[in-house]
Amino acid sequence: MKKIRVLVADDHQLVRAGICSLLENAKGIEVVAEADDGYQVMELVSLHQPDVVLMDIAMPNMNGLETTAQLLAIFPEIKVIILSMHVNEEYVWKALRSRASGYLLKDAAPVELERAIYSVADGSTYLSPAVSHHVLNDYVRRVNGKAGWADKLTPNKIKFGN
């Protein structure tokens, strides 16, 4: 089985080290590079050709959303998971519009990080459960022009594919 090659991009060294440490023992995942800003991501992707980029949304010089859009214009086969502390619908929609394959909250459990990587590497989209709840509510409000039934759902009540 071919390992999923991952590039970790975050401007906080401690966060990068933590993510790399978590992924060190993950089956089928290999961290091939680390970047601390968007320009470095672009450079390292050319060198290391990762399958998945874990991209902090708020990096200096070129933020994660700008980097994602530029990266995917050149390397459309790469999957990008945006990492964020924010459950803000606007950020999520911007991430999806930039063609990110996933949006993962930084307070996610380690198993969720692995699940997100496996999921996007397999061609699916991955949203943290709390993010899915907000996106669904926002979508329903837009379609109906008002709050709908989804506003009453909690993240625990939403189960996709089950």
Average of pLDDT values for 30-49?
97
Sorted by where each starts, the structural domains of the chain and their CATH numbers stand as: 4-127 (3.40.50.2300), 129-162 (no CATH)
Output the CA–CA distances (angstroms, integers) from residue 79 to 21, 34, 76, 133, 156, in the order listed: 21, 16, 8, 22, 27
Return the H-helix or E-strand segment holding 81: strand 79-84
Q: What gap in Å lies between CA 57 and CA 86, rounded to an integer?
A: 9
Return the H-helix or E-strand segment holding 96: helix 89-97
Q: What gap in Å lies between CA 140 and CA 143, rounded to an integer?
A: 5
pLDDT value of residue 39: 96
Per-residue pLDDT tens over the stretch 77-100: 999 999 999 887 788 888 989 999
pLDDT value of residue 1: 73
Q: What gap in Å lies between CA 41 and CA 7, rounded to an integer?
A: 8
Residue 156 pLDDT > 60, yes or no?
no
